[in-house]
Amino acid sequence: MKITRRQAAFGGMSLVAGSSISTAGRAEPGSVLGIGEGLEDFWLATDAYIYGYPLVTMEMTRRVLTNVAAPVGTRAPMGTIIKLRQYPDASFRDVTAPNADTLYTTAFFDVGKEPWVLSIPDMKGRYFLMPMLDGWTTVFQVPGKRTTGTGAQTYVITGPGWKGSLPAGVKEYKSPTSIVWLLGRIYCTGTPEDYAEVHKLQDEFKLVPLSSYGKPYTPPSGTVDPSIDMKMAVREQVNRMDAVSYFTLLCKLMKDNPPAAADAPQIAKFAQIGIVPGQDFDASKLKADFLKRVPEVAVDRIMIQFKINKDIKNEGGWAFTTKTGIYGTDYLMRALITAIGLGANRPQDAVYPTSQKDAVGRKYNGANKYVMRFPKGQLPPASGFWSLTMYDAGYFFVNNPLNRYSISARQNLKSNPDGSTDLYIQKESPGKDKEANWLPSPPGDFILMMRLYWPAEKNPSIINGSWKIPPVTKVT
């Protein structure tokens, strides 16, 4: 089973909310699982697997992205800011569904021992956002243009239970966990001039431990652990873990990344199968044959939500959700987002409609020509920006003569006489007079993804359904 970074939806998906894990996707007793006595313990174990999936995946992601001695590409040691300097091209294969709209400015850091201080420079009106995710993948704070403006600002991020005094002029953000992932994005047009401007801003970001705030500070070199697999995708590494290794790691991680107070009922249930935060996993509480089956069945329970989730909206060939970033006790939703869109924003910051088929349900293919028409005044309503990105069937950029991987208002789109706007989605040029509106496609199958950053919250809005995404139609 291969699930791409944002496949099928798509920037995050929503599942049925509830105070405990939904039974959706569970088999009935006496089913093909072949499990008789003790079936409830087996299902409880799959509940625990789903519950812990975000925390385990976040930790495995942290290990891979920080397992270097010095910053290189998309990786840097703990506490060191990664500054991506340009958009990837069609040869890029490190991450699926890359974007050509924002330059990532990110870091993993540990606030368990002491707080860390993030200093953001004056962004001079530029759109940016700096979401902070806790170990359970909840976006607990989002400084940025939408929420805090673009002036210079400084925050101290404190860990669970921290108490102490703070320097003057800083605002405290309390992280529920020791692990914090800063997953910042800065808008950039991609021109040499704008790259240079964004690089200057990136270089002014500062991330230091509180004890070094206001003093000269050089991030220490990282320690490389040769036992960490740096090639296999993190998702595959997690999905291939046996249940004992998985639950052992989960119990350990929950010591420094405590469950939320609302999780107490679930945590109490997990104790009966040997899963207690901060204690060693007691594998004797579960049958060995149960443990062998847990990962496979739990992952299947997560992924079946694609078909049964009522909160995944399908409109004119586009699929998306507006339920991401804050999950409460909807553990299935949180796990699914982890599997297909780790790092998803709150919907107020971004929505990612994705389309694999045209308006009548046929797969997109470069042998055909397509048009996406926006009526007058109906271009995507977004206060940050919007874009439409072209991917091949593997969710990678498509090589083309314009080196254009996405299309947006920054292409100076041309309108029709009636005020509508057509986007031409095809392999060959639609003609010089229409190339401003051309999104080149590959010869074979392809996928489209729209990004609406800071989508409008009032009419028309994708969030409340008052704005509908136009279908993509095949030109006959």
Helix/strand/coil (H, E, C) string of the chain?
A: CCCCCCCCCCCCCCCCCCCCCCCCCCCCCCCCCCCCCCHHHHHHHHHHHHHHHHHHHHHHHHHHHCCCCCCECCECCCCCCEECCCCCCCCCCCCCCCCCCEEEEEEEEECCCCCEEEEECCCCCCCEECCEEECCCCEEECCEHHHHCCCCEEEEEECCCCCCCCCCCCEEEECCCCEEEEEEEEECCCCHHHHHHHHHHHHHCEEEEHHHCCCCCCCCCCCCCCCCCCCCCHHHHHHCCCHHHHHHHHHHHHHHCCCCHHHHHHHHHHHHHCCCCCCCCCHHHCCHHHHHHHHHHHHHHHHCHHHHCCCCEEECCEEECCCCCCCCCCHHHHHHHHHHHCCCCCCCCEECCEECECCCCCECECCCCEEEEECCCCCCCEEEEEEEEEEECCCCCCCCCCCCCEECHHHCCCCCCCCCEEEEEECCCCCHHHHHHEEECCCCEEEEEEEEEEECCCCCCCCCCCCCCCCEEECC
**Tens digit of each residue's pLDDT (9 = 90 or more) over 205-250:** 999 999 999 999 999 999 999 999 999 988 899 999 999 999 999 9
**Tens digit of each residue's pLDDT (9 = 90 or more) over 111-163:** 999 999 999 999 999 999 999 999 999 999 999 999 999 999 999 999 999 99
Mean pLDDT of the region 41-46: 94
What does CATH list as the number for 82-212?
A: 2.60.40.1610
The predicted structure's pLDDT at residue 17: 25
The whole-model pTM stands at: 0.89
Mean pLDDT of the region 49-58: 97
Judge whether residue 381 has pLDDT over 70: yes
Binning pLDDT at 50, 70 and 90, where does residue 460 land? very high
Question: What residue ranges do the domains of the chain occupy?
Answer: 39-62+232-312+329-339, 82-212, 353-474
Average pLDDT taken over every residue of the chain: 90
User: Tell me: domain 353-474, CATH 3.40.50.300, correct?
Assistant: no
Binning pLDDT at 50, 70 and 90, where does residue 20 land? very low
